Structure 1
Amino acid sequence: MDKNQITRLCGICDKPKKDGIYLYQLFICTECEMDIVATDPRDEAYSTYVKKLKAINQSTFTM
């Protein structure tokens, strides 16, 4: 891995990634972003994503 590449911990999959977006203070990797957008609300993973994204509104949430 190139030492100059910055990795961040994804708030969804909890893995270090270099590409993604910030939703307020929560970093979401590109792979999780695409999964969230494509997930059907009836899918089991949907509730997991909702729970993780709710952390954004928690006053105790820190990076």
Structure 2
Amino acid sequence: MEEIIRPVERLKDEAPETCIICGETKAQGIKIVSEFICEECEAEMVHTDVKDEKYDFFIHQMKQIWVQLNA
């Protein structure tokens, strides 16, 4: 049977993982492909305006998902 690939999965109270945005280890957040983003960073990202300086940082960090996927 073929494995189902879940590109985005919400994690609640799972084993702690390291967030690719802030670098902190937390148990709640989302997993995109194989990378974890904590709830706090997810919330900050979706509320950040494209003109905000931090927006470019978020884009850079998110690109790491695709770099890892294509490695």
Name the TM-score class by shorter chain.
0.7 to 0.9
The residue correspondences of 1:8-27 to structure 2 (distance < 5 A) are 8-27=17-36
**2:52 corresponding residue in structure 1:** 43
The size of the alignment, in residue pairs, is 56
Structure 1 residue identity aligned to 2:52:
D
Percent identity reads: 36
Q: Does 1:52 find its partner at 2:61?
A: yes
Structure 2 residue identity aligned to 1:38:
H
TM-score when scaled to structure 1? 0.82
CA RMSD of aligned residues (A): 1.1
Note the residue ranges of structure 2 that are not aligned, 5 or more in a row. 1-13
CA separation in 2, counterparts of 1:27 and 1:57? 13
**1:30 corresponding residue in structure 2:** 39
Note the residue ranges of structure 1 that are not aligned, 5 or more in a row. none
* Large movers: runs of 4+ above 4 Å: none
